Amino acid sequence: MEEKVTIITPCFNENTTVISFLQNVESVIEKLPYNFEVVVVDDCSSDHTLSLLKQFNFSAINATLTILELKFNVGHQAAIYQGLLYSNSLESNKFIIMDSDGEDDPEAIADLVKFKDFDIVNVARGRRKESFSFQASYYIYRFIFKIITGKILNFGNFCMIKKKVLQTSCYTGFIHFAAHLSKQKVSSTSIVYNRLKRIDGKSKMNLTSLVHHAFKSFVEYAEELLMVFLRIFMLIIVSFLGFIGIVLYKKFFTDEAILGWASTMTVSLFTTALICIGFFVMGILLLNMISQKSQSKKEIFNKLSDNEILPSDSLKL
């Protein structure tokens, strides 16, 4: 068991759910010929999550637990980033990122660690357990994402990355980890696992969350999105000039009446062009803000020392 694998998982107000998750992970990794460090990033939970984590110990000899307590709540994606920042100093070359609510199947870990020749191994999502309306909205989002970016985003945070990918992520920063990984010019592959039901049975994902999720993924591809608006703007300008030319030609060089819809169309095209260029300008400003924010990323976690983690047997629920 010479090779070390790091598992990074963010959590927020999970209570006993995160303990059940850790026990499920342990039942898988204790059978594998690797040393595992499980890094739980507590996103400033306001319930008993942190105290429960302090009471938990792995019984498997090849597993250790590290708890990072964030100084303030930063959200799911930023919590992942803090976990990556900490893990950047570790000797591992394989880093598995997964959620702690139980939807990411721990059994996939056994398959992920087998890969040696890929820098990124994503766990593509098989069947989902959400409502029909949510699934339909999710597929529409994926379709729009593919149209704009040319990429298929059929995976979430659950993946394994090599050290150089982790270092790139720490340097550049991100606001949507999955979309960020889809942009990396490295060797990648994927395996398919079905999404499990949350351990506590209450999904935090709804249509509102999906909209926010989609917006963040598009921001990762802000440059490509801006080019889409720029192409639309150029197409509208060409059409606008064409209509203006037709209107002026009919007015000054023919006796034909100018059609009413032609003037309306010209005004509509001009208005649409202004909207597109407005989106383009706002996008440039947004990119600048994101760039400045990514350069100011800092560690905001406290690693709990051994004397802060209560020495006890593994917490059994």
pLDDT in tens, 196-233: 888 876 666 666 776 777 777 877 887 777 777 777 77
Tokens standing for residue 236: 């509208």
Question: Is the pLDDT reported for residue 287 higher than 70?
Answer: no
pTM for this predicted structure = 0.80
Cβ(195)–Cβ(129) under 8 Å? yes
Beta strands 94-97; 155-162: pairing state: antiparallel
User: Pick the residue with more confidence: 219 or 184?
Assistant: 184
Angle at 59 between CA 70 and CA 83, to 5 degrees: 20
Question: Is the pLDDT reported for residue 33 higher than 90?
Answer: yes
Q: What is the pLDDT of residue 80?
A: 95
- The residue ranges of every structural domain in the chain are 4-220, 223-294
Tokens standing for residue 300: 């905001």
Q: What is the pLDDT of residues 49-97, one digit of tens each?
A: 999 999 999 999 999 999 999 999 999 999 999 999 999 999 999 999 9
Question: Is the pLDDT reported for residue 240 higher than 90?
Answer: no
User: Pick the residue with more confidence: 11 or 142?
Assistant: 11
Lowest mean pLDDT among 1-5, 237-241, 297-301: 237-241
Alpha-carbon distance of 179 to 157, in angstroms, equals: 9
Looking at residues 232-260, what average pLDDT do you find? 73
Instruction: Please give the share of the chain, as a percent, with pLDDT higher than 70.
Output: 79
Q: What is the pLDDT of residues 89-146, one digit of tens each?
A: 999 999 999 999 999 999 999 999 999 999 999 999 877 666 667 677 778 878 878 8
Beta strands 301-303; 155-162: pairing state: unpaired
> How high is the mean pLDDT of the chain?
83
Question: Is the pLDDT reported for residue 192 higher than 70?
Answer: yes
DSSP track, 208-235: HHHHHHHHHHHHHTHHHHHHHHHHHHHH
What is each CA distance from 281 to 241, 274, 278, 286, in whole angstroms?
22, 10, 5, 9
- 46 DSSP 8-state letter: S
Question: Is the pLDDT reported for residue 150 higher than 90?
Answer: no
**Class of CATH domain 4-220:** alpha beta
Alpha-carbon distance of 74 to 215, in angstroms, equals: 17
Alpha-carbon distance of 287 to 8, in angstroms, equals: 28
Q: What is the pLDDT of residue 316?
A: 47
